[in-house]
Amino acid sequence: MAELIQWYPGHIAKAQRQLQDQLQRVDVVLEVLDARIPRASRHPDLHTWIGSKPTLTILNRLDQVPPEALQQWQQWFRRQGALVLTANGQTGAGIPAIKQGILRLGEEVNQRRRQRGMLPRPIRAVVIGFPNVGKSALLNRLLGRRVVTSARRPGVTRQLQWVRLGGDLDLLDAPGILPPVLTDQEAAVKLAICDDIGSASYGADAVALYLLRLIFSQHPQLIPPLQTRYGWDNGDPQGWLLHLAQQRYQGDTTRAGQQILKDFRRGHWGPLILELPPDLKPENSILDNTSTLRDPR
């Protein structure tokens, strides 16, 4: 893309400092990833912060990816030695298994306390992930009630909050944490596609064009349905975007891009994965092909 994508709201730096302070009190870490982009939505510094603390990796939004792709990612994470579960924070799928996983990983804490003649205490778990990957929705599902604010846009949670689940589990909800600099621009564009980064940081037309090129290169089976949905011909992705802009938005490619991204994010294109495990299929960068848009006039 012609311009770099960078997004680091002021509250994130403060939240990161607070989170690193609270991690000393935490027994178990829940790393929540967007199942459509598991690699792109992983914080590169997370394991440096948490050290050897037990970690449960959650692939959220399982309904938005094909089951076979989700299974491939689960197998990949397990080959890396990770404990991984899947979930849907909107419907509650996978929530009982996550709660049991947290308590099982944290049981060693209370075993040590009993050995010292101390009473057990609630297990302390923190929910960590990029903005808008569904952390707060998962936490509300674990609690069985709406305790923390949850919305389908990045940047809603702005401060850390401890909440108690019964008498055996304390959960810490943290704001979405991003690296100060997004050095991997391939990952940054995928975060933009999935609405896991603020919309002010990118041009919707360029990001939508990247998504369309990704469809052409990795999901050609979707081309006919998309042609039917939007009335597109057999042209290229750039022609598709310009055609939609001309037909619906008086040539405004930004609004056309916003429409494409909104349809994808709402699941109107069906389950779709944007990246596969690295040892399954290498990905070629197509960023250079999204740098410019032809003037439709």
According to the model, what pLDDT value does residue 51 have?
Answer: 87
**Which residues face 136 on adjacent strands?**
none
Tell how far CA 149 is from the center of its chain.
Answer: 17
- List b or e across 72-90, with b for residues whose CB sees 16 or more CB atoms inside 10 angstroms: bbbebbeeeeeebbbbbbb
Mean pLDDT for 240-252 is: 96
According to the model, what pLDDT value does residue 291 have?
Answer: 42
Q: Is the pLDDT of residue 289 over 50?
A: no
Q: Which has more confidence, 154 or 251?
A: 251
Q: Is the pLDDT of residue 155 over 70?
A: no
Helix and strand element counts for the chain (H, E): 10, 6
Q: Is the pLDDT of residue 87 over 90?
A: yes
Local confidence band at 281 (pLDDT 50, 70, 90 cut-offs) = low
Find the range with the poorest average confidence among 17-21, 111-115, 229-233: 17-21
Local confidence band at 2 (pLDDT 50, 70, 90 cut-offs) = very low
Local confidence band at 27 (pLDDT 50, 70, 90 cut-offs) = very high
Mean pLDDT for 214-239 is: 93
For all residues of the chain together, what is the average pLDDT? 86
All structural domains of the chain: 10-173 (3.40.50.300), 203-290 (no CATH)
According to the model, what pLDDT value does residue 75 have?
Answer: 95
Q: What is the pLDDT of residues 165-211, one digit of tens each?
A: 777 888 888 888 888 888 899 999 999 999 988 888 899 999 999 99
Output phi, psi for 118, to 5 deg: -100, 155
Output phi, psi for 276, to 5 deg: -105, 165
Output phi, psi for 67, to 5 deg: -55, -40
Local confidence band at 148 (pLDDT 50, 70, 90 cut-offs) = low
Residue reference for tokens 């009630």: 145
Mean pLDDT for 84-98 is: 93
pTM, rounded to two decimals: 0.86
Distance CA 87, CA 38 (A): 13
Do residues 29 and 19 make contact, with C-beta atoms less than 8 angstroms apart? no
Closest CA to 194 of 261, 243, 135: 261
Q: Going by DSSP bridges, is the β-strand pair 161-165/123-128 parallel, antiparallel, or unpaired? A: unpaired
Q: Is the pLDDT of residue 214 over 90?
A: yes
Q: What amino acid is encoded at 241 in this protein?
A: L
Q: Is the pLDDT of residue 5 over 90?
A: no
155, two tokens: 């940047």
- What's the order of all strands across the beta sheet hosting 161-165? 83-87, 55-60, 28-34, 123-128, 169-173, 161-165
207, two tokens: 């990001």
